[in-house]
């Protein structure tokens, strides 16, 4: 068999040298090369290629690996995610019953599960740090998507990073990005708002903020509150603002509705919305900045400088008050001090910049 690696016969023709940039782009971050043994539930830490490697002969070093899980379709669980889960020493998950079904589907056995939810996340931090100190690999998952995105995990990660622990990630599905890229709305700049506050002043302030937000905004919402939230968004942002409402992403009954906020209210009210929902809201149109002419700035400069005010303070005040660059106001001040108002000859006061005013050059 010619051309086979390690085979006999003539050597194959040498191919082109690999592009270093391509190699760097697709380089796999290999971990310790000790094969996992799923049947071993003992106390010895295990390793798979999913994180940093200790030097040969050195003691095993524990770390935390964040593992993305499917948002609805089990087929989206990546081979690398399976490898990371089966090679971890313990898995912290939002709901042990839910995650056990996922592990059974993936054929992962022998790895203990520990709960990590919004009510016990702070309490579990010490346990995770202790496990890492013992050289163990701690995997963290949520019920769906990436842990820490409107799910438990962010406080844990902040704490372990602050303690100097290595945190790595196996990327996976994300409802935020899935809804964003299918919305048909601009994706160059966007923000994630998570779940809006349920009621009160905090909710009103967030809605007001969204009304002026020029970036595309992504929100999560419970199905029973979708119609009400869309109605409030229409009131705050205007009914003409475009919106995309995605539900059951990657599942059998996936649906993505697109249109204006006013039409979305009618749609969500007419037919009960079921399943997990992501709302993608178009950004507000940028406001035109008022144009301030040099004559306006010069008149204000002349009035205040003629009254004996110091150049530096006047320039700062006028630039801030009109939202214009300080350099522009400073140069107008120099010009006025040099020539004064038309027909008036030299301006009163010094013929150059205020000695107390540093040059902008």
Residues 210 and 274 in one domain: yes
Residues 41 and 80 in one domain: yes
Residue 115 lies in a domain: yes
How far, rounded to the nearest angstrom, does the alpha carbon of residue 224 sit from its chain's CA centroid? 26
Write the Ramachandran bin of 321: left for phi over 0, alpha for psi from -120 to 50, otherwise beta: alpha
Task: For residues 169 and 196, state if they share a domain.
Answer: no
* pLDDT value for 172: 93
Q: Which of 155, 143, 140 is nearest to 88 (CA)?
A: 140
Rounded CA separation 146/123 (Å): 21
Any domain includes 300: yes
Map tokens 């010490």 to a residue.
126
In angstroms, rounded to a whole number, what is the distance separating the alpha carbons of residues 141 and 159?
17
Domain co-membership, 306 together with 266: no
Q: Is residue 270 part of a domain?
A: yes
The C-alpha atoms of residue 44 and residue 35 are separated, in whole angstroms, by: 13
| Tens digits of residue pLDDT in 303-312 | 999 998 999 9
For residue 211, tell me if it sits in a domain: yes
Residue 5 inside a domain? The answer is: no
281, 314, 337: which is the final residue of a domain? 281
In order along its 361 residues, the chain shows pLDDT tens digits of: 333 333 334 444 544 554 544 334 343 333 333 333 433 444 555 554 445 554 554 556 899 999 999 999 999 999 999 999 999 999 999 999 999 999 999 999 999 999 999 888 888 899 999 999 999 999 999 999 999 898 888 999 999 999 999 999 999 999 999 999 999 999 999 999 999 999 899 999 999 999 999 999 999 999 999 999 999 999 999 999 999 999 999 999 999 999 999 999 999 999 888 888 999 999 998 876 667 889 999 999 999 999 989 999 999 999 888 888 888 999 999 999 888 654 444 444 444 444 444 444 3
Do 42 and 164 belong together in one domain? Answer: yes
For residues 299 and 358, state if they share a domain: yes
Same domain, 161 and 35: yes
**Owning domain of residue 312:** 288-361
Which tens digits make up the pLDDT trace of 162-195? 999 999 999 999 999 999 999 999 999 999 999 9
In a domain, 9, yes or no: no
- The answer to the question of residue 12 being in a domain is no
Boundary-marking domain end, from 142, 173, 204: 173
Reported as type and span, the H/E element at residue 158 is helix 154-162
0.75 surpassed by pTM? no
Distance CA 215, CA 286 (A): 10
Last-in-domain residue among 257, 281, 305 = 281
**Same domain for 57 and 129:** yes
Instruction: List all residues 6 or more positions away from 251 whose beta carbon is below 8 Å from its beta carbon.
Output: 72, 73, 275
- Alpha carbon separation from 349 to 282, 299, 310 (Å, rounded): 54, 16, 11
Closest CA to 274 of 296, 293, 257, 288: 257
Taking the C-alpha atoms of 33, 36, 37 and 42 in order, what is their torsion angle to the nearest 10 degrees?
Answer: 100
Do 106 and 230 sit in the same domain of this protein? no
Residues of the chain with pLDDT > 70, as a percent, come to: 76
Domain presence at residue 361: yes
Distance from C-alpha of 306 to C-alpha of 301, rounded to nearest angstrom: 8
Tokens (6 digits) for 8? 């006999």
What does the alpha-carbon distance between residue 132 and residue 243 come to, in Å, rounded to a whole number?
Answer: 44
Domain of residue 238, CATH code:
3.30.950.10
Token duo for residue 78: 């990546």
The number of domains in the chain is 3
Does 187 share its domain with 149? no
User: Do residue 273 and residue 355 come from a single domain?
Assistant: no
CATH number at residue 69: 3.40.1010.10
Torsion sign, CA atoms 232, 173, 102, 74? positive
Tell me, yes or no, whether 96 and 71 share the same domain: yes
């Amino acid at each position: 068999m010619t051309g086979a690696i390690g085979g006999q016969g003539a050597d194959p023709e040498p191919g082109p040298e690999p592009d270093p940039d391509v190699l760097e782009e697709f380089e796999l971050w290999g971990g310790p090369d000790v094969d996992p043994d799923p049947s071993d539930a003992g106390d010895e830490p295990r390793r798979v290629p999913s994180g940093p490697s200790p030097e040969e002969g050195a003691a095993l070093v524990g770390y935390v690996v964040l593992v993305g899980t499917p948002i609805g379709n089990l087929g989206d669980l990546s081979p690398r995610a399976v490898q990371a889960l089966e090679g971890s020493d313990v898995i912290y998950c939002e709901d042990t019953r839910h995650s056990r079904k996922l592990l059974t589907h993936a054929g992962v056995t022998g790895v203990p599960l520990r709960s990590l939810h919004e009510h016990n996340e702070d309490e579990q931090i010490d346990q995770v740090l202790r496990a890492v100190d013992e050289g163990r690999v701690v995997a963290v998952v949520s019920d769906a998507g990436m842990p820490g995105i409107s799910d438990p995990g962010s406080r844990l990660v902040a704490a372990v990073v602050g303690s100097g622990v290595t945190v790595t990630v196996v990327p996976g599905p994300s409802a935020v990005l899935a809804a964003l890229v299918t919305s048909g709305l601009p994706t160059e700049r966007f923000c994630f708002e998570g779940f809006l506050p349920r009621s009160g002043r905090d909710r009103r302030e967030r809605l007001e903020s969204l009304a002026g937000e020029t970036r595309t905004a992504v929100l999560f919402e419970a199905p029973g509150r979708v119609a009400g939230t869309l109605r409030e968004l229409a009131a705050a942002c205007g009914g003409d603002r475009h919106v995309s409402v995605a539900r059951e992403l990657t599942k059998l009954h996936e649906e993505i509705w697109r249109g204006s906020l006013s039409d979305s209210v009618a749609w969500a009210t007419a037919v009960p919305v079921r399943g997990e929902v992501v709302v993608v809201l178009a950004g507000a149109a940028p406001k035109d900045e008022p144009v301030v002419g040099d004559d306006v700035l010069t008149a204000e400069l002349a009035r205040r400088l003629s009254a004996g005010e110091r150049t530096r303070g006047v320039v700062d005040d006028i630039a801030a008050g009109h939202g214009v660059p300080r350099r522009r106001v400073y140069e107008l001040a120099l010009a006025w001090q040099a020539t004064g108002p038309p027909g008036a000859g030299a301006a009163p006061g010094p013929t150059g910049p205020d000695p107390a005013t540093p040059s902008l050059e």
